[in-house]
Structure 1
């Protein structure tokens, strides 16, 4: 989802809210269909906010819109697309919290959080006078206080019925280059219930500074690069967390030039899909050359010895592939 997706959907569709929900869900499903046909996973150069920082491990880059499955435990419902959380939960590495906020008869409690390398996850409970169809209850939230330097700061998450209330779970790639070992995540919920066009103009009602503890991770310096003409890519850092990993790189290209497409595969030639995201950390333009510092985040750790990165321009010209050892 692009940063303005919610705003655009609500402004553009002058139909009842049910149709708005369906339109947004259709976009979600469309974005999730990433077929392994050597189609590029990422488009970077000259793309404004297409590579969002938010994602889940099911192939689309934003929070979970998981279907309600009454026959499996509630945590399985929440984590069915979040393999990082599923793995960390099995190892009892997710921090349990009890951060509460109340507004207009609805109580929200942040119950769990994790920070594994470059990935952050948060789970919360909702109880009280929630209005709407039980199967179509959403929370609309913002992170990092709508920081304009971050590509994605506002999103929707579908809530899962749980007893007399609901549960919600989000997962995001940390959009900042560095976070301290002990930090807090500004997390504000603007609306809960049926999607309302008023949410876009409102401020947070359930506001949190979620304490996040960094799990152990390893940082490996990289010194690998590839280029084609004026398009240059330098891979600088590999971050290996307990259940996830990230690759930081710098991309430079002429202003207004072709986009660069990425394709990742493991040492066995298997394409790496399922929640992989590409986030912009910094951007500057000097003398007609754009330089971006970016991070590819992978919500799992491949079992192979290396990752192969294949790159091509829109014209079909390919850059020399790069192998990154794990």
Structure 2
């Protein structure tokens, strides 16, 4: 009997696994031995016991193989068996060696916390898959990851002195994994910018995560490990079938390499521009192909009537940009991929750069290409940059989103469609060029360092630094109108501003502004045009609160009359204040805290309502805005009209509203011209 395993896009997994022959299962474990060995070590801490673990797991997989169902991936099915065998073997608590200190600390965690860390960071499974394996709810996943890393940090001896704000600690994992929605992310980064406790706490936690990831990356399997395992199962192998299977697999791999070699070498030089102009309908991808920055892949996978095609991949130090096409073969629906939900990359922390975040790419339903056919969507997604110049991304997609429109052309109720699409995507990372600018200018009384220019295939980056020496006024972010390089204008990416986590010069807080790619490699100068700055103004005021009073009540602040609409006490106390008059208003949003009689032990949940106003005075409801409208607005400002806070605790009594200051936007019309100095080419 031969069982067909639906892993056609994964060359590591055998295309056929024999129920009668155990050799194919041994081969599969050998290909995956590194991640499974590290997983076993985190449980057992002893090589002899891990050999026993592999031996038992191989026998159990072979025994259960006829029961395997195609509704789940083969690897996840094997993993569930592997974990069960792990739990049956006793843990070795004798680890003392310094190089194994992280594994020793892991073994001191509770079972679910340890398993969540090793599954997501050692084995690389998605949160959803880990939750399914461990039978926990999605809400428990973040709690287990956060508490697990907190205890791991403590177990390593450096977690006692860090105390971040409880309400923001809940967001640490989502922030580090780029899962926060944009408004929440802005609020979080503004808080982190001002709160030294949270800065230290988050940095320490991130260092623990990075050390953990680096330990896993450098963790090696003993050279003779699998040989010892093979010896124990060799009597169950069939030598003739082993040689035949090996010859077939080598032939398949050789044929695949030959086809790839022919395809990559055929269309080069000047003919590629003509060829792709006639054959590639996606205009954006066409330019990349004509510039020889990528190649056609044509990888396909189909599940539940939905066919996904990976058309091409463009990779550099900024991101790994994947162009894809999704076809509904049964109906007239269009689907997109959401990188924050339903995708999983095998060994992501091993092959991709940690402490980086993919670029946000909203759906584009207005393009001519996506209006052409009702059942096909052409999209792109951004992943982290790969570490090496050559890599293979093993991408597993478990969910796509069905795009729906309402009468206002906004996207609502995007329905998830589950399936199983797997791809092995070959990646070649292209080079970038960095230029030093090192020019210090003054904006709104604050020193700004125009630091460096990065010319990369997928984008143009301007790195700048802020030296906020004025406590009463701080620049939080600069918005640029455009860059001009070699008489070419690069428009800004509205979703591309990012904080630089690796700060080499502590005098400056470094940021990166992203612009569209210009495909330039050399330049002597750059023109920088400013659009606006987002400011934080310090202006302290305290307003007493009393739930026994009748509300609303008003107070004056920053030239405006603000209404306190509600003050309620109890297990979930509430404070709501508002100001719907935005004309000539000095502030856009208030920075504040609610002080309670019980002190700082209570957690707070903040929310807001508001409108967006462009430079011409046109107003938009903040909750109804769509990416397409946002992209065409001219210099938008975000005014909060209602700000509310819920304070959770056993019994909470709001005492006062403490306002620290506010945020506002100032428009600019400045331009500077800078000379460039080459730092590094071909990075």
Tell me which interval the TM-score lies in, with the shorter structure as reference length: 0.5 to 0.7
Is 1:124 matched up with 2:332?
A: no
Gaps of 5+ in 2: 1-184, 189-276, 346-353, 405-411, 534-664, 678-683
Q: By how many angstroms is 1:113 displaced? A: 1.2
| Partners of 1:98 and 1:219 in 2: CA distance | 33
What are the equivalent positions in structure 2 for 1:1-326 lying under 5 Å apart?
A: 75-76=280-281, 78-79=282-283, 82=284, 85-116=285-316, 118=318, 120-132=320-332, 137-142=334-339, 150=357, 155-158=362-365, 160=370, 166=376, 168-170=378-380, 172=382, 179-183=387-391, 184=393, 188=397, 190-195=399-404, 197=413, 199=415, 205-206=420-421, 208=423, 210-228=425-443, 231-241=446-456, 244-253=459-468, 257=474, 259-266=477-484, 272-273=490-491, 278-282=496-500, 291-301=509-519, 305-311=524-530, 312-313=532-533, 314-316=665-667, 321=672, 323-325=674-676
Change (3 A) 1:186 1:86: same
The alpha-carbon distance between structure 1 residues 230 and 104, as it changes in their structure 2 partners (threshold 3 A), is farther
> Partner of 2:515: helix, strand, or coil?
strand
More off after superposition, 119-128 vs 179-188 = 179-188
Partner secondary structure for residue 109 of structure 1? strand
**Equivalent in the alignment of 2:81:** none
Structure 1 unaligned residues grouped into runs of 5+: 1-45, 50-71
- Contact preservation (8 Å) 1:226, 1:319: no
CA distance in 1, matches of 2:323, 2:670: 41
Distance 1:273 1:145, change over 3 A: same
> Which protein is richer in strand relative to its size?
1
Task: Give the drift of 1:213.
Answer: 1.4
Structure 1 CA distance for aligned equivalents of residues 297 and 287 of structure 2: 19
Determine if contact 1:275/1:298 at 8 Å carries over to the other structure: yes
Residue 238 of structure 1 and its aligned partner are, at CA, apart by: 2.5
Q: CA deviation at 1:90?
A: 2.0
For residues 242 and 271 of structure 1, do their structure 2 counterparts lie closer, same or farther at Cα, with a shift above 3 Å needed? closer
Change (3 A) 1:216 1:187: farther
1:284 deviates by 9.8
Structure 2 CA distance for partners of 1:181 and 1:297, relative to 1, 3 Å = farther
**What SS is found at the alignment partner of 1:315?**
strand
- Cα distance in 2 for partners of 1:315, 1:233 equals 15
Checking the alignment, whether the CA contact within 8 Å between 1:142 and 1:155 is kept in structure 2 is: no
1:142 CA displacement: 1.2
* Deviation string, structure 1 residues 128-187 (Cα, Å, up to 9, x no partner): 535336xxx241421686999748557435474889973523265x766x8542344868
Q: CA-atom RMSD, angstroms?
A: 4.9
Deviations 1:254-308 (A, max 9, x none): 69845533233426887543757633144699xxx99343242332146975321
- Report the secondary structure of 2:438's partner residue: strand
Check 1:199–1:283 CA distance in 2 against 1; reply closer, same or farther (3 A cut): farther
Counterpart of 1:142 in 2: which secondary structure? coil
Contact 1:151–1:280 (8 Å) recurs in 2: no
Q: Aligned partners of 1:161, 1:316: CA distance in 2, in Å?
A: 36
- Structure 2 vs 1, CA of residues 123 and 262 (structure 1 numbering), >3 Å: closer, same or farther? closer
Q: Distance in 2 between matches of 1:248 and 1:160?
A: 34
1:96 counterpart SS class:
coil
Number of residue equivalences:
246
Q: Which moved more, 1:148-157 or 1:206-215?
A: 148-157
Greater helix share, structure number: 2
Q: Contact conserved, 2:364 with 2:370, CA < 8 A, in 1?
A: no
Shift of residue 323 of structure 1? 1.9
Distance 1:294 1:251, change over 3 A: farther
Q: Report the Cα offset of residue 119 of structure 1.
A: 5.6
Higher relative contact order (CA 8 A, sep 6+): 1
Task: Output the CA distance in 2 between the equivalents of 1:292 and 1:203.
Answer: 40
